[in-house]
Amino acid sequence: MAVRRSKEETFSVKGKTEEWLKKAEQALHKGGFANVKTNLLLNQLTGDYKNLTIWGEIIVTLLPEGENIKINAKSTANADNIYALFSSPNQKILDQFKNNFYNSSIMALIYCPDCGKEVSGSANNCPNCAYPLSKMRNQTQSFPPVYQNNQLIIAGYIAVFLSFFIFPFFFMIIGVVLGIVNLTKGAIGHGVLQIVLSLIFGILGTFLV
Ligand SMILES: [Zn+2]
């Protein structure tokens, strides 16, 4: 008898069970699973995954819980070959499903910014209100990445605050430098505010305190 091991992962999504069953089924097909079967009674999908090094199968179960749907993916694979000694065939099987599942669920549906209806992510125009979705996609892609370094922004404000109380000149310089860094990294409002406030507080602090 072959030695077999299992591994499972659970994550949750929002939406309708039937739709996620469809998406999971598509993901299994895309991921190269054979013999994909859907059991609508159990909200369960099964598929076989076989290649040169991996022999196994997957069971994907959808468990609706109020607004959320818990998705449990369990893979079972032969663990008595050389390949299994060096890598995890079960992880490979789970990834094969998950990667395709995420891609298809991201690509599958978006919300029209004009009418708010769910539409296909690959449609050029909204079928409901004819909003040009392809234009929006191009615009979204060309937006610069959002600057998210909150620590530097907070540090800038701390320097601004300190420049009013202790070592005004020293913290004024730090506040200005951090303001410039935040400015050049895209947090323009914070950067400008930090530079201006550092200068005001630093100068006031130096001469008044
Ligand atoms: Zn629309």
Q: Any residues with CB less than 8 A from the CB of 92 and at least 6 apart, and which?
A: 54
Answer yes or no: are the C-beta atoms of 206 and 163 closer than 8 Å.
no
CA angle 143, 148, 151 (to 5 degrees): 160
Q: What is the distance in A from the centroid of ligand 1 to the CA of 104?
A: 21
Query: Nearest to residue 209, comparing CAs of 171, 176, 153, 177?
Result: 171
pTM > 0.85: yes or no: no
Number of neighbouring beta carbons within 10 Å of residue 82 = 7
Query: Nearest to residue 5, comparing CAs of 71, 92, 70, 98?
Result: 92
Answer yes or no: are the C-beta atoms of 58 and 72 closer than 8 Å.
no
The 3-state DSSP class for residue 118 equals strand
Q: What's the pLDDT at 38? A: 94
Q: What is the distance in A from the centroid of ligand 1 to the CA of 120?
A: 11
d(CA 180, CA 159): 13
- Domains of the chain in start order, with CATH, are 4-128 (3.30.530.50), 150-208 (no CATH)
Q: Any residues with CB less than 8 A from the CB of 30 and at least 6 apart, and which?
A: 100, 103, 104
DSSP state of 167: S
Q: What's the pLDDT at 136? A: 63
Q: What is the distance in A from the centroid of ligand 1 to the CA of 140?
A: 17
CA angle 36, 42, 48 (to 5 degrees): 20
Q: What is the distance in A from the centroid of ligand 1 to the CA of 125?
A: 8
Q: What's the pLDDT at 138? A: 56
pLDDT averaged over consecutive 10-residue blocks of the chain (209 residues)? 84 84 92 95 95 91 88 90 76 90 64 80 81 67 53 89 85 93 86 93 81
Q: What is the distance in A from the centroid of ligand 1 to the CA of 117?
A: 6
Answer yes or no: are the C-beta atoms of 178 and 159 closer than 8 Å.
yes
Q: What's the pLDDT at 108? A: 57
Q: Which amino acid is at 142?
A: S
Q: What is the distance in A from the centroid of ligand 1 to the CA of 119?
A: 8
